[in-house]
Amino acid sequence: MELFDKLGVDWRLLIAQIINFSLLLFILYKFLYKPVLNLMEKRERKVRESLDNAKKIEEKLLNTEREKEAIIKKAKEKELNIIREAEKKANERRDNIIKKIEKETGDLINKTKEKLRLEKKETINEIKKEIAELIVLSVEKILQEKMDDEEDKRIVEKIVNDINNKNL
C-alpha cells in the first residue's frame, strides 16, 4: 500500500479497474466466446452427419452402375465445398471476434491510462497550490503583518510559477 502511495497510484482504483477488466473478460467469454463455440460444435455435428450420410450413399452407389458413380463424385465435391466454406466462415468469425476483443481491450487500457494521468496531474496541481498557500502563510508570520489581497495574489502567482518552472 505504501509503495502504491509513493508511486502516486491509488490502490483502490487499481483494484476496481482489475475487477472491471475481469468482469469485461467474463462477459465477453459468456456472451461471445461460448456462443461461437456452440455454433462451431453445431456445425461440426452437421458436417459429421453429412460425412456419415455421404459414406452411406457411397456404399449404396458402389453397388450400382457407372452412372451412379458420377453422382458420387459430385456429392463428394459438394461435400468438400461445404466443409471448406464452413471452416472458412468459422475462421473468419473467430478472427473477427478476436480482433474486436483486442480492440476493445486496447481502448479500455488507453482510457484507464488517460484517466490515471489526469488524476495524477490534478493531484500535483492541488499539492502545488497548497504549498504556495503554506509559503504565503509562512512569509506572513515572518513579516508579522498581513499584506493586501492584490499583493498576496501576485506573490502566490510568482511562487507557483517558480515551482512549476523548477518541476518542468
pTM for this structure? 0.35
Half-sphere exposure of residue 40, counting CA atoms within 13 Å on the CB side? 14
Report pLDDT for 21.
Answer: 94
Q: Could you read off the pLDDT of 97-141 as tens digits, one per residue? A: 999 999 999 999 999 999 999 999 999 888 888 887 787 777 777
Tell me which DSSP letter residue 147 carries: P
Measure the CA–CA gap between 42 and 34, rounded to whole angstroms. 12
Report pLDDT for 148.
Answer: 65
Report pLDDT for 33.
Answer: 85
Query: Above pLDDT 70, what percent of the chain?
Result: 87
Q: Which residues have a Cβ under 8 Å from the Cβ of 61 and sit 6 or more positions away?
A: 68, 69, 71, 72
CA 135 to chain centre: 44
Domain locations in the chain? 2-167
